[in-house]
Amino acid sequence: MSENVSHEKKGFVEYANGPSLEEINGGIKVPKDWGFWKTLFAYSGPGALVAVGYMDPGNWATSITGGQNFGYLLMSVILISSLIAMLLQYMAAKLGIVSQMDLAQAIRSRTSKTLGVVLWIMTELAIMATDIAEVIGGAIALYLLFHIPLILAVFLTVFDVLLLLLLTKVGFRKIEAIVVCLILVILVVFIYEVVLSNPDWFGAIKGLVPVERTFSSSNPVAGMTPLSGALGIIGATVMPHNLYLHSAIAQTRAIDHNDEEDVARTVRFATWDSNIQLTFAFFVNALLLIMGVAVFKTGAVQDTSFFGLFDALNNTKMLSNPILIGVAKSGILSTLFAVALLASGQNSTITGTLSGQVIMEGFINLKVPLWARRLITRLISVVPVLICVALTAGESTLKQHAAINDLIENSQIFLAFALPFSMLPLLMMTNSAQEMGGRFKNRLWVNILGWISVIVLIYLNAINMQPAVAGFFSDNPTAAQNAEAGVIANIINVVIILLLIWTLVELYLGNRRLKNR
């Protein structure tokens, strides 16, 4: 159910009501007579761009800190998040391929203008929350590698828009290849560092099974409870904007929509591509958590920020075994860590900008140049980072670094709150025979797992709201602050539930309206 192409120039801003990411939509042809592996290679790429969001600097902060604080306890959360991600990204790609609309366009076609704007703003905020982690990660990498002052490095991250401009000239297939190469850099770096650390592999595998303590909201360590750590990992792993992005870039391969078998083939290979790339992302995140547990001596790293981890990789007194100590003396461990951090931030630049364009065109039918969009959102994201740096300027170095780390982790928790507003519409639309047809409508097991995932996430968000709000008062809030946080948390939870009900009602009515046409 694609919408007619219509572009009406209005100077710097264009009216957009055509195919998703029109410049690259259907631009890559895949012959039908190729074998499995050659065809899979031709369809590979969109999954890599999606997987980038699952291993950005926000994931680093939550996974490494979770490992330092709770050992292998949260390994199960990384596994569960990755499996949910595979399910959701499969549905997102299927929606785009079958309906010829991205998720934002599909939502907007069923909801009022008011709700469309509300959901657009919420998704924009989620992208900016992701941007905060990218700003911090990129700036710290520049500081660590080239000794550029942190404030200057923060502003230099704004100029990654020049990289984006360059990439838009080389073609989408080459962008996919560059992203895959950067993912491999990150993966190789962490495999190298973790293997050297000789971790407790049995403990790591045992941690893949969730236990009652995994989602406990008590017994915090360094201001983090297992529940807040788990939600940080979920928010950093399953990102709302990735669902919008995948539903758009899954349409970059040319499809004959009059041939149901061609549509089915595209869905099948898009799913293979997505699952393979997300498996790589799972291993990266698992390696990050294992690194937090095994590379350093237990409790040795007081500063779990990127600064502290970089320094710890140079400090032989903090490392856990003689092999690591020997390699650390060369400085290679810390340098590789900073290189991987920089690669992660640059990868996220590409996908974050494309996601922003998708939601702006889909929700409010407006289009601006990619470089301008990137510049605006990045400058906005720089503000909270600068405020954080300014407010802690008189504090100790350890407290400054902790504040920056807290900013990253809290931004990822926000993503977990925003996620149900993308998950619910995706579930409803991919289960619609009107939209997907009988063949591509969700199977019963997909629907059941999807609804269980979103209900559990909403519940976990609700019970974590009070400690999350209390954390803004202090790492050790008083009884009065906890009581005040409880009131604020209840108000926020009610607002979120009402917004979710509003979204569900409008989507239901929108589905009925389309069905009766």
Tell me what pLDDT residue 5 has: 38
Tell me what pLDDT residue 163 has: 66
For residue range 484-497, list pLDDT tens digits in order. 888 988 898 898 89
Residues 6+ apart with CB under 8 A from 186: 55, 284, 340, 343, 344
SS3 per residue for 465-512: HHHHHHHHHCCCCCHHHHHHHHHHHHHHHHHHHHHHHHHHHHHHHHHH
- pLDDT higher than threshold 70 for residue 347: no
CA distance 151 to 258: 55
Please give the DSSP secondary-structure letter assigned to residue 221: B
Structure tokens at 114: 């008011």
CA distance 388 to 403: 7
Percentage of the chain beyond pLDDT 70 is: 86
Tell me what pLDDT residue 7 has: 42
What is the mean pLDDT of the segment spanning 92-119? 91
Tell me what pLDDT residue 505 has: 92
Phi-psi region of 225 (alpha: psi -120 to 50; beta: other; left: phi over 0): beta
For residue range 477-486, list pLDDT tens digits in order. 788 888 888 8
Residue 367's SS3 state is strand
Percentage of the chain beyond pLDDT 90 is: 15
CA distance 354 to 171: 14
Structure tokens at 160: 């990654």
- pLDDT higher than threshold 50 for residue 4: no
Tell me what pLDDT residue 114 has: 92
CA distance 169 to 324: 42
Tell me what pLDDT residue 269 has: 95
Banded pLDDT at 275 (limits 50, 70, 90): very high
Structure tokens at 360: 């702006």
Q: Per DSSP, what are the bridge partners of residue 13?
A: 10
CA distance 319 to 100: 52
Banded pLDDT at 475 (limits 50, 70, 90): low
Q: Average pLDDT, whole number, for the chain? A: 81
Residue of higher predicted confidence among 458 and 320: 458
What domains, with CATH codes, occur in the chain?
24-383 (1.10.4160.10)
Tell me what pLDDT residue 136 has: 80
Strand order in the sheet with 366-367: 7-10, 13-16, 366-367
Tell me what pLDDT residue 30 has: 86
Q: Best-predicted range by mean pLDDT among 251-265, 350-364, 381-395, 408-422?
A: 251-265
For residue range 38-93, list pLDDT tens digits in order. 999 889 888 888 887 777 666 666 787 788 788 888 899 889 888 988 999 999 99
CA angle at residue 77 from 76 to 81, to 5 degrees? 120
Residue 30's SS3 state is coil
CA angle at residue 221 from 218 to 223, to 5 degrees? 85
HSE on the CB side for 515, CA within 13 Å?
A: 12
For residue range 414-449, list pLDDT tens digits in order. 776 788 888 899 999 898 877 788 889 999 999 999
- pLDDT higher than threshold 50 for residue 177: yes
